[in-house]
Structure 1
Amino acid sequence: MTIKTKNVQLSDSAASQMLIEWDVPIEMDDGVVLRADIFRPAGDGPFPIILSYGPYGKGLAFQDGYPSAWKILEEKFPDAVAGSSNSYQCWEVVDPEKWIPKGYSCIRVDSRGAGRSEGLVDLHAPRETQDLYECVEWAGSLAWSNGKVGLAGVSYFATNQWRVAGMQPPSLAAICVWEGYADRYRDSSYHGGIRCTFTRNWQDMQVKTVQNGRGERGPRSPFNGLLICGDDTLSDDELADRRVDIWSTISSTPLDGPYYRERSPDFSRIQVPLLSCGNWGGHGLHLRGNIEGYMRAASSHKWLEVHDGEHWAEFYTDYGVQLQQAFFGRFLRGEENGWDARANVQVRVRHLDGTTSVRSDSHWPLSTTEWTLLYLDLENGSLVDHDPAQKAECSFDALGEGLDFLSAPLSSPIELTGPLAVSLSVSSSTEDADLFVVIRVYDPDGEEVTFQGALDPRMPLAFGWLRASHRHIDETLSTPYRPYHSHDRKQLLTPGIPVKVQIEIWPTSMVIPAGYRLGLTVRGRDYEHSGEAASLSNMKNPMRGCGPFVHDDETDRPRSVFGGKTTLHADNGSVPQLLLPLQRGLLEDR
């Protein structure tokens, strides 16, 4: 059934009216029917379309489904909720009340098997990408459409944009990938070859709860009174039969290969104009994909923006909405709005007081980068600017606190903006070792400084991970600042025999004042700060510095292998070192 609501007043300040069509059917090529909600200006059009496709339930209000995130949005980002009644706010997709007055229509599609769409839930699968392709073409052919469809949304609603863009649907005119990872293996499932348990908990907390078939066992939509999870009420066993257990597949597929490749984009085929928006605090899920996608996409019209703050928030702020509307105005409406004069790369550089400065550039890494090496002095536990030129080794219990290396107090401020990498020579008392590398900052009193992450309010500056048996490098894709591991083979260690490893550290940005110290920790388990854990209503595990992106699956990390002793080595043929992206011209204006 399709319910139509006409002439909805958007707000006191908005003169335009909105037409809403609830639960519009979209039949896929295999006969499965998906359901969409359409918000559009009253009138005949033509209107460009902002479309999203995902599994979180199009009828679930942001305020009801994600109350702690909504509270943060209200309290910390008042502009995000101003100028709208917030009556149609939904998690991680655009608020139609801020787009309809600008002449856009907005379409939200429940993905296959989610919300009110029938079918089998198989998250990130090729079938989903095909569905999204067909939804784009269906939307582009609507009578009131101008034939141009843009994709927008955060996280899941961003990740699938990379994949469908590679399929080149004719009606797709632009994509705005807001904090959305690209590589299903490296960005999400396995960090450096180490299994991340986020997917398991995420599926339980955010997907199963709004699966189609929950019917009366699920909530009703405050938007229209419809059952959010469809009209049929199924048993738990019946629901399980309609859902692919992606966690069991990930757990049984520890190496990269066809399963992950068909759930990752073909960058060479992405030619549509794109805006990739990342978050410096997005370590563990999205940041790497936003940057890799920008770098590797074949589009001749592409832009990278990186901000800070909470994962979901900036998308809704005045800054975020204006950025999106300027981009889509150019490519969906043909506006001559100055977008083409925008620098291809624009990043917000963080300062310790919570403010930011803007760097604009035509390159990533930034053209102002001065690549700088610091060396690990294994005897003294320090980071130094010269090769210690001595043979040394130091060991740590793999499940302990690891080893810390600190710089001297900085004599002047420095700015780190860009990717980092570390080279080590390591051995283990067992046949393998997991390496967790943490970039940290300490104040003049020796206290660690932590930073707002995308989800966790207290994170260190940057993370890198590598399972030693996954050390093989893909030379065609690697650079000195971003080692690229093939993850297609295991090269087990001989206990006590050192091997050389290169570890990718995800990009970061921060101005570190004089008197502070830079730190590097090498350990064999996830970082945890010493303070109180944080929580969000949609996250299962308490957050202690890594957000929900932890590596605590004992089947992947048996103590007999990953609970041994790990040793770092230095000699004339192997000097442990850290590569830093120092920036010329310290920013002063904020």
Structure 2
Amino acid sequence: MKLDPKKPLTAAAICLLVLASACSSNGGDADGGNGNGAPQTKSSQWTTLGTRATPAEDGRIVTSNEGGQWTTYDPPATYPGTVQLPTQFISMRDGKQLAVYVTLPADADGNAVTTPLPTILVQTSYNGVAGQTVSAIGGADPYLVQRGYANVVVDVRGTGQSQGSWEAFGADEQADYAETVDWVAKQPFCNGSIGLFGVSYLGITTVLTAAQQHPSVKAAFPIVPIGDGYRDIVFTGGQVNPTFIPIWLGLVSVLGLTNPTALTDPTVGIPALLEHVISAVTNFQVPTILRALLGEPETAYDSAFWSTRSPLETTAQIQVPTFVVGGLHDIFQRSEPMTYERLKTRVPAKLLIGPWTHIQAAGGNGLPVDGVPPMNQIVLRWFDQYVKGLDVGADTLPNVTQYVLGYGHYVTASDWPHPDASARRLYLRGDKSLDTAAPAAGEASNTVAQLPIQGLCSISTSQWTAGLLGLIPLPCFENSNSAERWAIKYETPVMTEDYYINGPIQADIWMSTTALDAGLSVRVDDVDENGVAKSLTNGLQTASLRAVDDSRSRKLDGQMIQPWHPYTQAAVQEVGSGNIVLVPVEIFPTSAMITKGHRLRVAVGASNLPQGVPPVPTLLQSLAGVLTIYSDAEHPSSVVLPAVPASALN
């Protein structure tokens, strides 16, 4: 079998492409500029993915700046040093005090400059004091400050040295963002122009604050921000994350107890410290974990709680140039390109995705390479153009830059999703092959035990601990064969040419179980000549939460390629023992090339422990079962891939 990504599947697909081309010829379907620098676009064979509030829409392909190239940008420092001002506090509307750490450029004598400057605002939950040592969690970058920026770091409500109760992006915290921007804009060190910046939690506050449209905010640079709190990580596929989430909640709690003012000013510090402890134990951290594990409906199902904490619901309101950074093995892998997608037709937007875990992405691990500069140079260029107002070519940078697994290099494209992608469906055959031909009647099914510990030692262990355990060089992180020992593995023949995929993937799995419910873990691998399987991406789905909202799901060439699962209590569909059901599984987007001589593998199992475990009520219904995957004409299990001509890599 020869898998040719250039070969259309149907005549209908050809017609769609011809029509799209005809409509966009001579710019007839292109949108002009809208006054804020938004690019020109044309119709796309993709649709968007909807949100809780909006259905999917016809997609648009960005056509502006198709020839963008990376260049070095490293101007000399304007100031010889930096200086940090004493800790300050901002009074919020309810009287709560937020701690503020200001860093300014300094002259040769170490004196802070007095000229008002453009200002970089960082809002962190990890304690600005700790950030002075570890810049990724909130410290000022001397490289940026010495090139003419004031830097302000703020401990969000209930964290660090700030007062109040922490509720992770809750309504009170988000209301604080606007008051914080107001305060910064009025300070004598600020000239009224603010750039929002941050990694992880700090990147999320960047996106949420930018969506509030404060006139002083001129640009945003979020690195590895979440998009959907429920679907990205906390309850992927309806299963609660047992690795990163406890680590993260614990980190915020511990750093919230590291409060120097408890010693230097006990009347201020000790009440704040006690407030943090009481909140963690009785209000947010501990109760949230318990509610999730026990399957409490307001937490275990999608709800207003999660909508409030999902930036994709408001990202389209951002009106300033935004540069998004993501990672192919990041904990927020799913939504980082979608954050760019929500912005690309409205404002100047760029997307950079590296081969990174969460902690690797923080500083752009491995850069510079393939012409892509170090991360701080990219940040400086973006802010120099859009916060300082200089013409330094930030607008001419490539729209999209992605590392391609298997190819081993960064490549650029005019847009994401990839404009040249086409939907390719491969069927999971009874003989465990992957084929473009649909199965025949009576083909064999395959079974696997429903063990809740699959994937325990796999690349998922590294990914869902934010890359922390990935620092240990375990062979199972590089070769998925051991992790997939208890999975059903379907493989293509050896590729006769390079096969490039770029974007989200959907697996449509026909299954039954001897238990009452089941989980499905679907991993996509690149298998080399020696049989070593490198995991490219994966999906996880609870069978009873398989309901799909077609109006919000993404399609490519008319085929669903990214399902939207409601994950509400009302959407639960019982599975029952022995019943055959279709479970669409969302597999997170990737960019990868299966090179000539390699094989593509789809491994189907019953669990992926590092990524998710069902809440206790669902887990009890899923134990001690046997999962059957069907591969016959009536139940044709398959996977839909976004195939791109390999020539696009050039």
Corresponding position: 1:90 with 2:135: yes
Q: Counterpart of 2:300 in 1: which secondary structure?
A: coil
Q: Which amino acid aligns with 2:602?
A: L
**Deviation of the 1:562 alpha carbon:** 4.2
User: 1:582 & 1:240 partners in 2: Cα distance?
Assistant: 46
User: 1:563 & 1:230 partners in 2: Cα distance?
Assistant: 52
User: Who is 1:312 aligned against?
Assistant: 359
Q: Residues 382-461 of structure 1 correspond to what in structure 2 (within 5 A)?
A: 382-392=433-443, 393-399=445-451, 401-449=486-534, 460-461=535-536
**Deviation of the 1:587 alpha carbon:** 6.4
Q: Counterpart of 2:128 in 1: which secondary structure?
A: coil
Please tell me whether the aligned partners of residues 495 and 596 of structure 2 are also in contact (alpha carbons under 8 angstroms): yes
Corresponding position: 1:357 with 2:410: yes
Ranked by relative contact order (alpha carbons within 8 Å, sequence separation 6 or more), the top structure is: 2
1:260 alignment partner, one of 291, 303, 306: 306
User: Who is 2:583 aligned against?
Assistant: 501
Please tell me whether the aligned partners of residues 117 and 212 of structure 1 are also in contact (alpha carbons under 8 angstroms): no
User: Who is 2:57 aligned against?
Assistant: none
Q: Counterpart of 1:487 in 2: which secondary structure?
A: coil
**Deviation of the 1:409 alpha carbon:** 1.4
User: Who is 2:191 aligned against?
Assistant: 146
Corresponding position: 1:52 with 2:99: no
Please tell me whether the aligned partners of residues 274 and 301 of structure 1 are also in contact (alpha carbons under 8 angstroms): yes
Over 3 Å counting, the alpha-carbon distance change for 1:175 and 1:237 in structure 2 is closer
Q: Counterpart of 2:146 in 1: which secondary structure?
A: helix
Gaps in structure 1 of 5+ consecutive residues: 1-11, 62-86, 450-459, 528-548
Q: Which amino acid aligns with 2:310?
A: S
**Deviation of the 1:511 alpha carbon:** 2.4
Q: Residues 162-201 of structure 1 correspond to what in structure 2 (within 5 A)?
A: 162-198=207-243, 200-201=245-246
Please tell me whether the aligned partners of residues 464 and 504 of structure 1 are also in contact (alpha carbons under 8 angstroms): yes
Q: Which amino acid aligns with 2:544?
A: S
Corresponding position: 1:294 with 2:340: yes
1:347 alignment partner, one of 402, 407, 417: 402
Please tell me whether the aligned partners of residues 415 and 586 of structure 1 are also in contact (alpha carbons under 8 angstroms): no
Q: Residues 502-521 of structure 1 correspond to what in structure 2 (within 5 A)?
A: 502-521=584-603
Corresponding position: 1:322 with 2:322: no
Please tell me whether the aligned partners of residues 213 and 231 of structure 1 are also in contact (alpha carbons under 8 angstroms): no
User: 2:615 & 2:284 partners in 1: Cα distance?
Assistant: 22
1:491 alignment partner, one of 570, 573, 584: 573
Q: Counterpart of 2:585 in 1: which secondary structure?
A: strand
1:525 alignment partner, one of 607, 611, 623: 607
User: Who is 2:290 aligned against?
Assistant: 248
Q: Counterpart of 1:481 in 2: which secondary structure?
A: strand
User: 2:616 & 2:231 partners in 1: Cα distance?
Assistant: 19
Q: What TM-score do the two structures reach when normalised by structure 2?
A: 0.73
Deviation string for 1:4-55 (max 9, x for gaps)?
A: xxxxxxxx98753323213111111111000111112233333111111121
Q: Residues 533-552 of structure 1 correspond to what in structure 2 (within 5 A)?
A: 549-552=610-613
Q: Which amino acid aligns with 2:516?
A: E
Over 3 Å counting, the alpha-carbon distance change for 1:325 and 1:23 in structure 2 is same
Q: Counterpart of 1:162 in 2: which secondary structure?
A: helix
Q: Which amino acid aligns with 1:389?
A: A
Please tell me whether the aligned partners of residues 58 and 90 of structure 1 are also in contact (alpha carbons under 8 angstroms): no
Q: What TM-score do the two structures reach when normalised by structure 1?
A: 0.80
Q: Which amino acid aligns with 1:331?
A: Y
Corresponding position: 1:472 with 2:540: no
User: 1:159 & 1:236 partners in 2: Cα distance?
Assistant: 21
Over 3 Å counting, the alpha-carbon distance change for 1:88 and 1:571 in structure 2 is closer
Over 3 Å counting, the alpha-carbon distance change for 1:475 and 1:239 in structure 2 is closer
User: Who is 1:19 aligned against?
Assistant: 83
**Deviation of the 1:234 alpha carbon:** 4.5
Corresponding position: 1:34 with 2:94: no
Corresponding position: 1:109 with 2:157: no
User: Who is 2:3 aligned against?
Assistant: none
Deviation string for 1:515-552 (max 9, x for gaps)?
A: 2221111111117xxxxxxxxxxxxxxxxxxxxx4324
**Deviation of the 1:309 alpha carbon:** 2.9
Structure ranking higher in helix proportion: 2
Over 3 Å counting, the alpha-carbon distance change for 1:184 and 1:15 in structure 2 is closer
Deviation string for 1:47-83 (max 9, x for gaps)?
A: 111111121111115xxxxxxxxxxxxxxxxxxxxxx
Please tell me whether the aligned partners of residues 421 and 503 of structure 1 are also in contact (alpha carbons under 8 angstroms): yes
Deviation string for 1:254-276 (max 9, x for gaps)?
A: 11111111122323423332111
Please tell me whether the aligned partners of residues 94 and 153 of structure 1 are also in contact (alpha carbons under 8 angstroms): no
**Deviation of the 1:387 alpha carbon:** 1.6
Please tell me whether the aligned partners of residues 423 and 576 of structure 1 are also in contact (alpha carbons under 8 angstroms): yes
**Deviation of the 1:357 alpha carbon:** 3.0
Over 3 Å counting, the alpha-carbon distance change for 1:173 and 1:475 in structure 2 is same
Corresponding position: 1:582 with 2:643: yes
RMSD: 2.8
User: 1:347 & 1:55 partners in 2: Cα distance?
Assistant: 29
Gaps in structure 2 of 5+ consecutive residues: 1-75, 106-111, 365-372, 455-485, 555-559
Please tell me whether the aligned partners of residues 274 and 299 of structure 1 are also in contact (alpha carbons under 8 angstroms): no
User: Who is 1:370 aligned against?
Assistant: 422
Q: Residues 123-138 of structure 1 correspond to what in structure 2 (within 5 A)?
A: 123-138=168-183
Deviates more, 1:96-105 or 1:301-310: 301-310
**Deviation of the 1:183 alpha carbon:** 0.7
Corresponding position: 1:337 with 2:392: yes
User: Who is 1:119 aligned against?
Assistant: 164
User: Who is 1:279 aligned against?
Assistant: 327
Deviation string for 1:473-508 (max 9, x for gaps)?
A: 122221222111111221111322212222111011
Deviates more, 1:14-23 or 1:485-494: 14-23
User: Who is 1:566 aligned against?
Assistant: 627
Please tell me whether the aligned partners of residues 152 and 158 of structure 1 are also in contact (alpha carbons under 8 angstroms): yes
Please tell me whether the aligned partners of residues 239 and 613 of structure 2 are also in contact (alpha carbons under 8 angstroms): no
User: 1:406 & 1:226 partners in 2: Cα distance?
Assistant: 64
Q: Counterpart of 1:102 in 2: which secondary structure?
A: coil
Over 3 Å counting, the alpha-carbon distance change for 1:495 and 1:314 in structure 2 is closer
